[in-house]
A and B are shown apart, each in its own frame.
Chain A
Amino acid sequence: MPEVVLDGLTRRFGETTALAGIDLVILDGAFAVLLGPSGCGKSTTLRLIAGLDTATSGRIRIDGTDVTDRPPAKRGLSMVFQNYALFPHLSVAENILFGLKVRRVPAADRRRRLERAADILGLGALLGRKPSQLSGGQQQRVALARAIVAESRLCLMDEPLSNLDAKLRAEMRHEIRDLQRRLDMTMIYVTHDQAEALSMADQVVLMRDGRIEQDAAPAELYERPATAFAASFVGTPPMNLLPLDASPHGLVVAGTSGPVLAETPGGHLSDLVVGVRPEALLPGAGPGFPVTVTDLDYQGADTVLVCDLGGHNLLARVPGHAAAAQGSELQLTCAATDLAFFSAADGRRVALSAVDPANQPHILGGVV
């Protein structure tokens, strides 16, 4: 049974449309990540689900019940805020128990739930402290404890890790994922960090300008981006997108004479863009993209080569230390299956029969 269903959800602020009628299904027990750049509507979506904001139109159903008109407290969910929203004058224990006291949960029950939450998050020694006496990571844990002590099955998180340093963020990523599995919660998690989304989610909902760009599992989003935007938003560094031009033998990267990447399609699909992941490109002995290395970005395990291809930037991620010197010329090859084509007009993915850039008998004669 679907846990959270959004049906034509729209939110307008005066003239501006923050959310343009999105439809979304988040399955029971899923870890769903709402991903996108700032202003894409991901936080608005979360606040609408939480009931902190009111939809202009559209319905929200949680566990089959229409909760669109219910106040936040009556939706059976908990939430972790970006700035944690801890009450500064209350101790850690009082912060965690605030909601239970409001709901008049019996004292014995409260104590049991507090102990369990403190145990799960390792807060036992900190219960008497004030939030100002805690580190950022500890405050984060208190916010998590407050969310799980409610024992609601649906938990919302609004960029909960954005205020932590990189090391702690990696730890908490793991811990939140683990928590979600152990407590069997449905999680809706907002972030602008695509790496976070890929590593945590069962389902990534990529948003842009108040619409859903792609709703898929992380691997699917990464391997088969549905739009040029999805391709350019996901991956470190993201997918290379290069405009295409028609040549006598087929489509080539604009400004170059080869290699041919696809047969020129019939009809009016003239403005096309090709996408190729930096890690799909390999410096090869044979023919491929003739590039000049303009810069090197050493990242430890691998190196990103910043190359020039007919006036366009082309990034290639190659394993190990610098495989090429700055200023050197080399051939980058990839498989035909690594190529993705998008319409330049609307960014949609276009199905074209790709040609293997490394295997082009008709240009071996010296066109390159």
Chain B
Amino acid sequence: MARPVGDPCMDRRLLTTIYAWLLLLPAMVLLVAFTHYPTVATFWASFFSTARGRRPASFLGLDHYRRMITDDPVFLQVVWNNFLYALVTIPLSIGIALVMALWVNERLAGRGFLRMAYFTPTVLPMVAAANIWLFFYTPGFGLLNQIIALFGGPDVNFLGSPETALWSVMAVSVWKEAGFFMIFYLAALQSIPPSLKEAAKLEGASDFHYVRRIVLPLLMPTTLFVLVNAVIGAFRVVDHIVAMTGGGPSNASSLLLFYIYETGFKFWDTSYAAALTVVLLAVLITVSVLQVTVLDKRIHYR
């Protein structure tokens, strides 16, 4: 039997649907305009040459991607730099964050002050943090060199020599990130009921055993969250590179995103920068998917 025109039930449903779309509209406009469209446009632009003057963009296919691997030693270097940067800063900052959180979670005098001190670097803008560290690293009269001089060591140009530049930048990153991650661990630690520790103690478990067998497994969801954030951060934050080294000397401290910025907005090779961006996106998506699928299975969620 055909429904009569203007069935009140149908009308109601249609209205609800329109209403729902209207509610979604503002957020969707923003997302499409500033996230989805640029992503697709970037992907598309990476297959074309950069338009210069009268010469319009021409289709190149995968030429940009071929160039990265065969004809761009700087790209290979920044990828290696970024890989090393992630490999060192992520475990180090997470490890330090965990130790700091375990420590300031204990009852001790001046706990509030300690927590604040650990968290302060997080509140600072990265550029401000980078400038503070610039003073530490300054050759001659910088804090670190003064300390080295105290022990009779030679003057080190931390940011000016290719051997130390990347490591110096890593130190700033660890210093800044650890406090941030500590807050997540601290929140997770405080959600563990104290009776679990008491029960473990009654059973004769040492503090180490308790942390290893009870606390760490219960912190795994937090660790996954922090890890995802740390990986994204390692590929996304280059403020300190801009402020401290400018990627130098001779790209020794340049990271992938910084190289993309240079390619796109200094050398104005925007379509090659688009191709590089696609690579960065691919890396981030792969890592996130791996983390959520592989690690998730081994994690206990309460």
Contact = CB atoms under 8 A, between A and B. Distances in A.
Nearest to A80: B199
Interface in A234-249: none
B194 to A, nearest CB: 9
A50 interface: yes
Interface residues of A, number: 25
A137 to B, nearest CB: 19
Interface string B170-203: 0000000000000000000000010110111111
A39 interface: no
B94 interface: no
A45 interface: no
A101 to B, nearest CB: 9
A81 B205 CA distance: 17
Contacts of A88: 218, 300, 302
Interface string A79-100: 1011101011100000000110
B193 to A, nearest CB: 6
**B interface, how many residues as a size bin?**
10 to 19
B195 A81 contact: yes
Interface in A101-149: 102-103, 130, 132, 146
A67 B300 CA distance: 38
A98 B203 contact: yes
A85 B199 contact: yes
Contact of A99 (B193, B195, B204): B204
Contacts of B213: 98
A77 B302 CA distance: 29
B202 A78 contact: yes
Contacts of B199: 79, 81, 85, 87, 146
B90 to A, nearest CB: 24
B198 A102 contact: no
B142 interface: no
A305 B193 CA distance: 45
A98 B300 contact: no
Nearest to A81: B195
B217 interface: yes
B218 A85 contact: no
Contact of B203 (A52, A89, A99): A99
B118 to A, nearest CB: 27
Nearest to B204: A73
B202 A102 contact: no
A150 interface: yes
B195 A85 contact: yes
B189 to A, nearest CB: 14
B300 A102 contact: no
B209 interface: yes
A102 B218 contact: no
A176 to B, nearest CB: 18
A83 B193 contact: yes
B214 interface: yes
A52 B201 contact: yes
B203 A102 contact: yes
Given A83-B193, A102-B209, A89 B218 contact: yes
A73 B196 CA distance: 14
B221 to A, nearest CB: 10
A89 B300 contact: yes
Nearest to A52: B198
A318 B94 CA distance: 69
A265 interface: no
B301 to A, nearest CB: 9
Nearest to A88: B302
B128 to A, nearest CB: 40
Nearest to B201: A72
Interface in A24-61: 50-52
Contacts of B205: 73, 98-99, 102
Interface string B140-161: 0000000000000000000000
A320 interface: no
Interface of B: 193, 195-196, 198-205, 209, 213-214, 217-218, 300, 302
12 contacts: A72-B201, A73-B201, A77-B202, A79-B198, A83-B193, A85-B198, A87-B200, A88-B302, A98-B200, A99-B203, A102-B200, A102-B205
Task: Please name the 6 residue pairs, one residue from A and one from B, whose CB atoms are nearest each other, closest first.
Answer: A99-B203, A73-B204, A89-B300, A85-B195, A85-B199, A89-B217
